[in-house]
Chains A and B, each alone.
Chain A
Amino acid sequence: MLSSIKKYSFRKFRDSETKRHELNYLFWECTTRCNLNCLHCGSDCSKDSLHRDMPAEDFFQAIDTIENIPQNFTVVFTGGEPLLRKDIELCGKELRKRGFKWSIVSNGHLYDKQRHISLLNAGIGALTISLDGLKESHNWLRNNEKSFDKVINAIELASSSNRINFDIVTCVNQKNINELEQIRELLISKNVKAWRLFTIIPIGRAAHNPDLSLADNQFVQLMDFISETRKSKGIDVKFSCEGYVGKYELLVRDSHFFCRAGINIGSILIDGSISACPNIDRSFSQGNIYTDNFYKVWENQFQPFRNREWTRIGQCELCKDFKDCQGNGFHNWHGDKKNVLVCHNEKIEKQRNANILYK
């Protein structure tokens, strides 16, 4: 009964948030240059990107169109590797002058003590760093033998600051699924307070690497690990908002699944495209800052994000969980968009059925 009330209230809440579509969270794909060449990269970034970094003034011109700026409006620098840009601190200070908060998603490779200090000085408020396993498995995925040591150094610096709201993300794959307990202990020993776990969506370089996807039983193993760890107090661990996980909802994260792409989350991509999360198929772009008024696009476009009935197609068409899932995370719709790329709940259900058969 209580669970039904919660579910019903949540759907109403989600509908009202969608109608309201307040822009709270803006990704800026400020560069597609990267200093690593990760096996799972979902973007086309490289050491010598085809795109030049977006000039800061172009970005500011776009965001200065925003009217009625919501409280806690945050700009998230993403890439590529944002720390390759020398002007991140200047951009950060400009954002703070406008009353905005800002944060960075980084691979940690360039996050040394000097950069830590200059980012703090410029008013950084949050940071996410990737750690994808113990030394061997992390360096394998990151395709770099020095990466693990550099990330650990970055983690030690970030966790030493009370100012930064900081978390670690881990892409769970065949090589690290059995290391999760050791990674958890490592993070606790480094004073990390929050840890988010992902699976790898088969897009970009990850599409052709079978070592990166989890089998159904491994996905359930991940869900069980997260829900068990959440019962203890050592670290705040959660499953990312990448997909709907049926019976594991609320066991693996703080809130029901709600993909806020295009509802509260927008982005300005490297070529000026206006979209939501950067890993969403680029054909969903809703405009371009070089030809359109950014805020008008945010207010008046984004229909495919705010009405997801079009995702009732393929295996979602007759799915009994559609009301709660709404076609899963938006980044799961790529290519011809005739079917969802990954259904997390299907993995759980398949494994449940396999267990029943086995018994």
Chain B
Amino acid sequence: MINMKRNVTRKIIGGLSLTSAMFVFQACYGTPQDFGLDILIEGQVKSKTSGLPIKGIKVSVADNVQYEVTDEEGKFSFYTEILEGLTLHFQDIDSTQNGLYIDKDTVLTDLKENIYLDIALEEK
């Protein structure tokens, strides 16, 4: 309660100085502050047939430069900008190494919180 009161007083005094940037600052030799929103997308890619994790699958965001490649456990994890809808491409990029799988797209909508995906790819 006391903290809330202090915050309100702080905002009133700050507001009276009529400079909107009062609470937004950056150090002289520092960066701007980050007010952007992003979400963490994580998951694991497995073989639909064997249920085993697949290494070397490229997980990319449509219309965006971002991508990651699954690790030994078929896992991936990255932050990306929050959009209304987002398409993830799962693509086998290492030819026969680690098996041959059919590419898959997953459409994500109503993104608000971090997401965990279990993805199963069919063998070619």
Q: How far is the CB of A33 from chain B (nearest CB, A)?
A: 18
Q: How far is the CB of A157 from chain B (nearest CB, A)?
A: 8
Within 8 A of A (CB), among B7-65: 9-10, 13-14, 16-22, 24-36, 38, 40, 65
A191 within 8 A of B: no
Within 8 A of B (CB), among A159-198: 160-167, 169, 194, 198
Inter-chain CA distance A25–B28, complex, in Å, is: 12
Q: List 8 A-B contacts (CB under 8 A).
A: A13-B17, A25-B30, A125-B38, A127-B31, A166-B32, A254-B19, A256-B19, A277-B27
The size bracket of the interface on B is 35 or more
Interface string of A107-141 (1 = CB under 8 A from B): 00000010011001111011110000000000000
B68 within 8 A of A: yes
A295 within 8 A of B: no
A16 within 8 A of B: yes
Q: A241-B25, A277-B28 are in contact. Are A72 and B17 (CB under 8 A)?
A: no
Partner among A10, A17, A122, A241 whose Cβ is within 8 Å of the Cβ of B28: A241
Q: How far is the CB of A78 from chain B (nearest CB, A)?
A: 7
Inter-chain CA distance A5–B18, complex, in Å, is: 9
Inter-chain CA distance A134–B26, complex, in Å, is: 25
A142 within 8 A of B: no
Say whether B29 contacts A279, CB under 8 Å: yes
B116 within 8 A of A: no
Binding site for B on A (CB under 8 A): 2, 5-7, 9-10, 12-13, 16-17, 20, 25, 27, 72, 74, 76, 78, 93, 96, 101-105, 113, 116-117, 120-123, 125-128, 160-167, 169, 194, 198, 240-242, 250, 253-256, 258, 260-261, 264-265, 277-279, 329, 331
Say whether A163 contacts B36, CB under 8 Å: yes
Say whether B34 contacts A101, CB under 8 Å: yes
Q: How far is the CB of B13 from chain A (nearest CB, A)?
A: 5
Partner among A96, A127, A255, A260 whose Cβ is within 8 Å of the Cβ of B27: A260
Say whether A103 contacts B31, CB under 8 Å: yes
Residues of B within 8 A of A126 (CB): 31-34
Residues of B within 8 A of A254 (CB): 19-21, 24
Say whether A167 contacts B35, CB under 8 Å: no
Q: How far is the CB of A181 from chain B (nearest CB, A)?
A: 23
Inter-chain CA distance A279–B29, complex, in Å, is: 8
Q: Which residue of A lies closest to B79 (CB)?
A: A123
Q: How far is the CB of A159 from chain B (nearest CB, A)?
A: 13
Q: A10-B19, A72-B35, A117-B67 are in contact. Are A105 and B14 (CB under 8 A)?
A: no
The 3 closest A-B pairs by CB, nearest first: A125-B34, A254-B21, A9-B16
